[in-house]
Amino acid sequence: MRLKPIDRQVVALMGASSGIGREAATRFAKCGAKVVVSARNEAALRSLVDEIQRDGGEALAVPADVAEFEQVEAVADKAVEEYGALDTWVHSSGVGLYATFDQTEPEEFRRVMDVNLMGQVYGAMVALPHLKREGRGALVHITSVEAKRSAPFHSAYAASKHGVDGFLESLRVELKREGWSIGVTNVMPAAINTPFFSSSRTKLGAKPMGFPPIYQPNTVADVVLYAAEHPTREMVAGGAGKAMLLTQRISPRLMDALMLLAGFDSQKTDEPKSEDDPHNLFEAIDEDRIEGDFSDRAHPRSLHNWLGTTYPNARRTALAGLITLGAVKLLRARRS
């Protein structure tokens, strides 16, 4: 499957006002793509477009709530109207709720599902007709390692991410059977230093944080840009996330034990926060940062992803070398 180089693409990014989406938008623009950015926060989108244009890039803002199908559809239509095509759809919109299940209200659970699951579904629905018209393209859906392994306090969030994973697996096979050159990539970040934690609604009594180690947003942007040119089924952003999913695959019971041991207190900071403090579950808040509140402890990059997206051949060569070395040592041990 051969996709256009990024400098010839029109890229739509949902959830671009802050965090991963904003970082990816600026990176796409710097690489020469025409970008259409969307989120609920119109002021944050305007500042993003201004920043991209000052740096010589092309960008257009289309505000939208991803839980509303017609608003998502307008983003895709505007991209084609303005730039004549749509080549890559990047969906990073998401909201968080930190609460035990018995603290969660029905309308809160529903809202998380509407944004995190149905928003992703709506994105693929509106993008696909345009990608098919072009004959090729990429759907890049940013979920979480919780698409494969749930964590405490995240019953709604993890359910929504699991739902996206199942939806993409079905869609991917259908498109392959029909012969479309359309990549469907599930990008699963580990804990990333974005405003997500400070923007989430919390009932923990404290400001939440991600499982350490935490990575900077460029770790995910690297993966997103790679997927826009190189269709890949699944990509984990952050080596710690890869280790977590490997452990889950080998022994779910071991992951249960690790969650019981370290999965509760590790998600709480020492900073008090009430459930009534500002959050973006139902309404946009004034937030346009790329990085969150944990820059002093966030890893600037993931070696796992750096090798995979920048030097994939080097990673394969290193892996082959390790396998060969192991085989040689095994043979020597048997001969002795």
Detail the DSSP E strand segments found in 87-135: 88-91, 97-98
* Residues contacting 98, CB < 8 A, separation 6+: 153, 154, 200, 201, 202, 203, 204, 208, 267
Phi, psi values for residue 86, rounded to 5°: -140, 125
Do the Cβ atoms of 66 and 55 come closer than 8 Å? no
Give CA separation, 90 vs 102, 104, 296, in Å: 33, 29, 28
Q: Count of residues for the chain?
A: 336
Rg, C-alpha atoms of the chain: 20
Residue with tokens 């990816």: 24
At residue 332's C-alpha, the angle toward residues 328 and 336, to 5°, is: 175
Task: Report how far residue 4's alpha carbon sits from residue 10's, in angstroms, rounded to the nearest whole number.
Answer: 10
Q: Which of 98, 122, 157, 215 is catalytic?
A: 157
Asked about 215 being catalytic, the answer comes back as: no
Q: For the chain, how long is the longest CA-to-CA vector?
A: 72
Six-digit token string for 55: 């740096």
Please list the active-site residues: 157
